[in-house]
Chains A and B, each alone.
Chain A
Amino acid sequence: MTDRVNDFAIKIATVNGTGSASANTLLMKSIFRSGIPVMGKNYFPSNIQGLPTWYEIRVTRDAYVARSGKIDVMVAMNAETYARDVREVASGGYLIYDSTWPRPNLLARDDITVLGVPLAKLCNENFNGVRTRILMKNICYAGVLAALLDLDVENIRGLLAETYAKKPQLVDSNMKAITLGYDYAKQNLQCPLPLRVSKLEKTAGHIMIDGNTAAGLGCVFAGATVGAWYPITPSTSLMDAFKSFADKLRVDPDTGRKNFAFIQAEDELAAIGMVLGANWNGARAFTATSGPGLSLMNEFLGLAYYAEVPAVLFDIQRVGPSTGMPTRTQQCDILEGAYASHGDTKHVCLYPKDPEECFYFTRDAFDLAERLQTPVLVMSDLDIGMNDWMCPDLKWDDGYVPDRGKVLSKDEIAKLEKFHRYLDVDGDGIPYRTLPGVHPKGAYFTRGSGHTQYGAYTEDSAEYQIVLDRLSRKFHTAKRLVPKAAIEHDPKIDIAIVAYGSSDGAVREARDILGSHGLTANYMRLRSFPFGEDVEKFLEAHKLVFVVEQNRDGQMRSLLTLETRVDKARLRSLLHYSGLPISSEFIVNGVLAEVSPKTRKPEVVPAAAKTSGGAA
């Protein structure tokens, strides 16, 4: 193999609950600190201890953020998954295993290099206690990789010192395990491999952060004061992050009182109810949930839509249907998010592409929810929410003033002859609202039953329709307020890719690869629903549009056909729904299967559109 410096992928197969997470983070961060862009993805089971887990680290000098689809180095630490782990290594790649015991089945392939290190033996000889030996075995492989890949051991030492600042003895024992592996590899294997790292200067001004942390931080900065939730993977860490930041940043230094309320609800029904109650009463309140929780929240989301109560909801999408695979990723709540609840309901949805956008969209979500007096759903996913992504430093504008929307002050209410809650005074479909406790003239009755534009109960058809039609106008207004689609459009090209959320990184890389095949495609990344005119125009301008999504049914494609004038036949789905994050390879193969790079003539399928399904 020729040298591949700073451009390869490692996958580490372990058993969960054995400390491998620390070792993997250590490896990834030490590469990051050497100035080399890196991607880390955790494929973990819905379990606390004893089931297979994998961690994929991609070293990427070109700063791609998605999986390539290929594994160059496999660290096979879990006998249970040896067979599939061996299969997954790309030809010419490497497999590292614990050679304490003979593993003849690992030697089944002659197109890869198998390297044995007696990790268990080394740790048994040097550490005491069963648990310690297991934990240290996993740190030990990090040492082996450090030697093989030419990682900076000082970076590793520095990271350990930060992690265990309060327990210096743990720095020593961990370093001992690192050194054991490192020295063994140096003495017994050819180090470094042709796949190795070499310092770059590409990570300055960047951080490694997961989307749930970024969103939780965003809630603190955007001024959210009430967080209500019910624990559900993979959204829980968003609430944990909010609590942890707020405990530090939101405690009044003089009184020790907390400028926030954090409520663990009895279920998701209550969590969203609390969020509505708090927003209705003038606080910025939010919840985070995932598929099953979103299903439970439907009834209240309908009330919020119809009674016009702001709310911010983070849906960290996971694999469905039903309980599905709670620790795997998908984009499978797109239609549910857009149309949650019975009756004619529509919701503003934002589709962040990465943790950075989670942070900024959190701020935007609160502004939009209060401006539009309606729920805003931030449609993140497990890949964004729980994996560390390299992002530019998050910035905060100290001049930011929250948009609290059309809330009447005490003086404004006093001057009114009469307050009408649901009247379209400004012609934008957005009525004025009042908060409790301000002025008796501002009092009104919030209800999910039929109401007139003046706020009174009604069963009169005409009165009912006036309000329902205004809600439609309000949703139309939303089109110009929500984040615009990110569009790269060369008018000479009539093939395009449409994607959203966590598929963005894979699409960007795929376009580069397709470019090297002589095929260029325009690109539109949807960032929000409802769709604006820019989305309509982009779709109209292309003969063939690949819609890349991480679900089985092409939900965004459906939404586009329902909500725009686009001709269905032009939209071709590329659907990845294995539960693993989408790879660039999947998109490249999907596009090439339909479009020949030589002729660049897509074979346009008339009438019913063909969908190419299947996972990578």
Chain B
Amino acid sequence: MTFLPKPKVRHPSLPKNSLGLTRRDYEGGLSTLCAGCGHDSITAALIEATWGLDIEPQNMVKLSGIGCSSKTTAYFVSGGHGFNSVHGRMPSIAMGANAANRDLIYVGVSGDGDTLSIGLGQFCHAIRRNLNMAYIIENNGVYGLTKGQFSASADVGTRAKKGEVNQQPPIDPVLLALTLGATFVARSFSGDKQQLVPLIQAAMRHKGFALIDVLSPCVTFNDHEGSTKSYQYTREHYDAAVNVDFVPFQKEISADYAAGDVLPVVLHDGSRILLRKLDASYDPTDRAAASMAIQEHLKKGEFLTGLLHVDTNGKEFHEVNETPSIPLNQIPHDRLSPGSATLAKVLARYR
């Protein structure tokens, strides 16, 4: 994990959000990823999204595992704590952190190796718990840091840089998440900032586990002919099904849309996601239909993108656990420890 401090240059004309902060205040260290890496575009979208949501930087918690993708957490919102954990185990760190303080905003950034191989178990169980976090997979089908091995998301027939052809079927995180009951499932492309920024904002405001699988080409090891995760392939086979406008509660505006095209979804804090369906027959609230549509497109070698499924009725971890609204790490000790008189009563059972 490399972190080079980026000099802060203040310019009076930079636009400010309602907290008086500019986009520069949401940046992090200088990226050390390869020039042209899709991941850096996602970092830019994360900066734009958090700035636009007026998030207090210290309320951001950025979590990651190991790999190129996991470096991303060092490159945005330097005013928020980051936790670069061990390979594939970020969801458990996020679970514990979230259990301790439900008030913060948790963003996990992972990759296809970190999520779909070594971390597949933890990924699945975080979904089952409906852990309240935004979980971004920077998906490039390849192990970058160890120089080009196939990941579990590599498509059958994909040719590695050194010529080897992948024969094992891929794990699709989006389809997997749907079958596990995920309440927010999206796919996007690192090159489509227009689509990605509102998706990230919606994911951060969604109550529960919000997955965004972002196709993010690896310029060094997987951007050649024969790869289905190259820039060229992705741009050519990229089909937006449901795009999103995110409207924070405080910023209700009369949205520019024609009735019938747009499905508004109200989130728990009053903010809204406006789903702009490009295909009128697509129903993003129907889990089974979403799954079918994604598979139909995959058969044709196409990636359906946008907010593919959303369910705002799911109970997130704290609701199931019945924890109080005050974060557990802020309950004073005298309310946690029952005291000597209670202990004496408890001991009666053991006489």
Contacts and interface: CB of A to CB of B under 8 A. Distances in A.
Interface of A: 32-33, 207-209, 213, 217, 220-223, 225-226, 228, 245, 249-250, 252, 255-263, 265-267, 269-283, 285, 299-300, 303, 393-398, 400-402, 434-449, 456-457
Given A225-B329, A273-B122, A259 B335 contact: yes
B58 interface: yes
Nearest to A204: B351
B313 interface: no
Contacts of A270: 89, 91-92, 95, 121-122, 125
Contact of B78 (A207, A272, A443): A443
B85 A261 contact: no
A225 B1 contact: no
Interface string B64-89: 00000000011000111111111001
A396 B340 contact: yes
A23 B79 CA distance: 62
A548 to B, nearest CB: 29
Given A207-B350, A273-B93, A255 B328 contact: no
A436 B97 contact: yes
B99 interface: yes
A283 B328 contact: yes
B324 A398 contact: no
Contacts of A258: 321-324
A277 B96 contact: yes
Contact of A275 (B80, B96, B331, B339): B96
A434 B56 CA distance: 16
Interface string B90-112: 01111111111101100000000
Given A258-B322, A270-B89, A281 B336 contact: no
Contact of B97 (A32, A33, A280, A440): A280
Contacts of B58: 436-440, 442-443
B2 interface: yes
Interface string B39-55: 00000000000000000
Interface stretch (B148-156, B267-275, B341-349): B341-349
Nearest to A449: B1
A446 B80 CA distance: 11
Contacts of A281: 61, 96-97, 100-101, 104, 329
Most buried by B among A223, A276, A398, A445: A445
B3 interface: yes
Given A226-B100, A257-B323, A258-B321, A440 B331 contact: no
Contact of A207 (B93, B99, B347): B347
B179 interface: no
B350 A255 contact: no
B337 A223 contact: yes
Given A280-B83, A448-B85, A269 B100 contact: no
B300 interface: no
Nearest to B28: A445
B232 interface: no
7 contacts: A249-B338, A273-B91, A402-B333, A437-B59, A437-B101, A445-B1, A457-B1
Given A249-B342, A435-B329, A447-B84, A394 B95 contact: no
Given A261-B328, A283-B329, A269 B89 contact: yes
B3 to A, nearest CB: 5
Given A300-B89, A395-B340, A436 B81 contact: yes
Does more than half of chain B's interface fall in helix, strand or loop, or is it mixed?
helix
Contacts of A283: 96, 99-101, 328-329
B323 to A, nearest CB: 6
B57 interface: yes
Nearest to B333: A223
A440 B57 contact: yes
A235 B331 CA distance: 27
A283 B328 CA distance: 7
A259 B329 contact: no
Nearest to B25: A440
A250 B342 CA distance: 12
Contacts of A257: 322-325
B86 A299 contact: yes
B94 A277 contact: yes
A438 B80 CA distance: 9
A125 to B, nearest CB: 36
B99 to A, nearest CB: 4
Interface in B176-196: none
Contacts of B59: 436-437
Contact of B96 (A33, A285, A299, A398): A285
B195 to A, nearest CB: 29
Nearest to B129: A263
Contacts of B325: 257
B336 A259 contact: yes
Contacts of A441: 79
A435 B58 CA distance: 10
A159 to B, nearest CB: 10
A384 B333 CA distance: 28
Given A221-B343, A393-B344, A436-B61, 9 more contacts: A223-B337, A262-B321, A270-B95, A277-B99, A281-B100, A285-B100, A436-B101, A438-B58, A447-B82
Contacts of B104: 281, 436-437
B346 A245 contact: yes
B99 A226 contact: yes
Contacts of A400: 337
B350 A208 contact: yes
A261 B319 CA distance: 11
Contacts of A393: 344, 347
A225 B332 CA distance: 11
B72 to A, nearest CB: 12
A282 B100 contact: yes
A448 B87 CA distance: 10
Interface in B116-157: 121-122, 124-125, 129
A33 B350 CA distance: 11
A278 B97 contact: yes
Given A439-B58, A443-B79, A448-B85, A276 B343 contact: no
Contacts of B333: 223, 401-402
A456 B30 CA distance: 13
Contacts of A207: 347, 350-351
A220 B347 contact: no
